[in-house]
Amino acid sequence: MVSDASKKKAAAKKLAAAEKRGSKSAAVVAQSKLKDVSNGTTADTLAEELAAANITDRTCTGILASHAQSRDIHIESLSVTFHGHELVADSTLELNYGRRYGLLGLNGCGKSTLLTAIGLREVPIPEHMDIYHLTREIDATDMTSLQAVMNVDSERLLLEKEAEKLSQQDDGGGEPLERIYERLEAMDSATAEMRAAQILHGLGFTKKMQNKKTRDFSGGWRMRIALARALFMNPTILLLDEPTNHLDLEACVWLEETLKKFERILVVVSHSQDFLNGVCTNIIHMQNKQLKFYTGNYDQYCQTRAELEENQMKQYRWEQEQISAMKEYIARFGHGSAKLARQAQSKEKTLAKMERGGLAEKVVRDKVLTFRFTDVGKLPPPVLQFVDLKFGYTPDQLIYEKVDFGVDLDSRIALVGPNGAGKSTLLKLMTGELEPLDGMVRRHNHLRIAQYHQHLAETLSLEMSALQYMMSEYPGLEEEKMRSAIGRFGLTGKAQVMPMGNLSDGQKSRVIFAWLAWRLPHLLLLDEPTNHLDIETIDSLAEALNEWDGGLVLVSHDFRLINQVAKEIWVCEKKTITRWNGDIMDFKRHLKKTAGL
pLDDT tens track for 518-553: 889 999 999 999 887 888 888 989 999 999 999 999
Residues 6+ apart with CB under 8 A from 590: none
Residues 6+ apart with CB under 8 A from 162: 180
Return d(Cα 550, Cα 452) in angstroms, integer. Answer: 15
Assess whether pLDDT exceeds 60 at residue 454: yes
CA angle 475, 477, 480 (to 5 degrees): 130
Assess whether pLDDT exceeds 60 at residue 193: yes
Ordered DSSP codes for 442-464: EE-TT--EEEE-TTGGGGS-TTS
Q: What is the pLDDT of residues 270-295, one digit of tens each?
A: 989 999 999 999 999 998 899 999 99
Question: How large is the angle between the packed helices 466-473 and 479-487, nearest 10 degrees?
Answer: 120
At the top level of CATH, which class does the domain 384-595 belong to? Answer: alpha beta
Residue pair 416/588 in contact (Cβ under 8 Å)? The answer is: no
Q: What is the pLDDT of residues 8-67, one digit of tens each?
A: 555 555 555 444 444 444 444 445 544 444 444 454 455 455 455 555 678 899 999 999
Ordered DSSP codes for 238-253: EEEESTTTT--HHHHH
Look at strands 100-104 and 282-287 and give their pairing: parallel
Q: Which residues are registered as beta bridge partners of 292?
A: 285
DSSP code of residue 382: P
Of 392, 416, 388, whose CA–CA distance to 402 is shortest?
A: 388
Phi-psi region of 533 (alpha: psi -120 to 50; beta: other; left: phi over 0): beta
Cβ count near 292 (within 10 Å): 17
Burial class (CB in 10 A: 0-12, 13-18, 19+), 392: middle
Residue pair 107/96 in contact (Cβ under 8 Å)? The answer is: no
Of 8, 32, 33, 30, whose CA–CA distance to 19 is shortest?
A: 30
* CA distances from residue 102 to 159, 283, 356 in whole angstroms, order as listed: 35, 5, 35
Residues 6+ apart with CB under 8 A from 374: 517, 520
Q: What is the pLDDT of residues 135-178, one digit of tens each?
A: 888 888 888 999 888 887 666 667 777 777 877 777 777 777 77
Strand order in the sheet with 384-394: 397-407, 384-394, 438-443
Return d(Cα 224, Cα 566) in angstroms, integer. Answer: 27
Average pLDDT of the residues in 371-375: 85
pLDDT of residue 186: 56
CA angle 319, 325, 328 (to 5 degrees): 135
Strand order in the sheet with 58-64: 58-64, 73-82, 85-95
Is residue 297 classed as helix, strand or coil in its secondary structure? coil
Of 134, 113, 135, whose CA–CA distance to 56 is shortest?
A: 113
Q: What is the pLDDT of residues 475-500, one digit of tens each?
A: 888 888 889 888 888 788 888 988 88
Alpha helices, H only, 368-518: 423-431, 466-473, 479-487, 494-497, 505-517
Question: What is the pLDDT confidence band of residue 396, given thresholds at 50, 70 and 90?
Answer: confident
pLDDT over 70, % of the chain? 87
Is residue 505 classed as helix, strand or coil in its secondary structure? helix
Return d(Cα 139, Cα 481) in angstroms, integer. Answer: 44
Is residue 322 classed as helix, strand or coil in its secondary structure? helix
Q: What is the pLDDT of residues 207-239, one digit of tens each?
A: 999 999 998 887 778 888 988 988 888 888 999
Average pLDDT taken over every residue of the chain: 83
Question: How large is the angle between the packed helices 192-202 and 249-260, nearest 10 degrees?
Answer: 130
Return d(Cα 485, Cα 374) in angstroms, integer. Answer: 10
CA 565 to chain centre: 21
Q: Which residues are registered as beta bridge partners of 132?
A: 238
Decide whether 111-300 matches 384-595 in CATH topology: yes
Return d(Cα 425, Cα 391) in angstroms, integer. Answer: 9
pLDDT of residue 155: 61
CA 162 to chain centre: 40
Return d(Cα 524, Cα 75) in angstroms, integer. Answer: 47
Residues 6+ apart with CB under 8 A from 510: 369, 486, 489, 490, 491, 537
Cβ count near 169 (within 10 Å): 11
- Highest mean pLDDT out of 52-66, 176-190, 413-427, 557-571: 557-571
- Burial string for 567-578 (b: 16+ CB within 10 Å, else e) reads eebbbbeebbbe
Average pLDDT of the residues in 431-457: 90
Assess whether pLDDT exceeds 80 at residue 83: no
Strand order in the sheet with 523-527: 449-452, 523-527, 551-555, 412-416, 568-573, 576-580
Ordered DSSP codes for 180-226: HHHHHHHTTGGGHHHHHHHHHHHTT--HHHHTSBGGGS-HHHHHHHH
Return d(Cα 542, Cα 272) in angstroms, integer. Answer: 13
pLDDT of residue 30: 45
Domain ranges across the chain: 4-55, 63-96, 111-300, 384-595
Return d(Cα 104, Cα 534) in angstroms, integer. Answer: 9
Q: Give the fold, CATH level 3, of 111-300.
A: Rossmann fold (3.40.50)
pLDDT over 90, % of the chain? 37
Residue pair 538/530 in contact (Cβ under 8 Å)? The answer is: yes
Of 491, 492, 486, whose CA–CA distance to 515 is shortest?
A: 486
Q: What is the pLDDT of residues 375-387, one digit of tens each?
A: 888 888 889 999 9
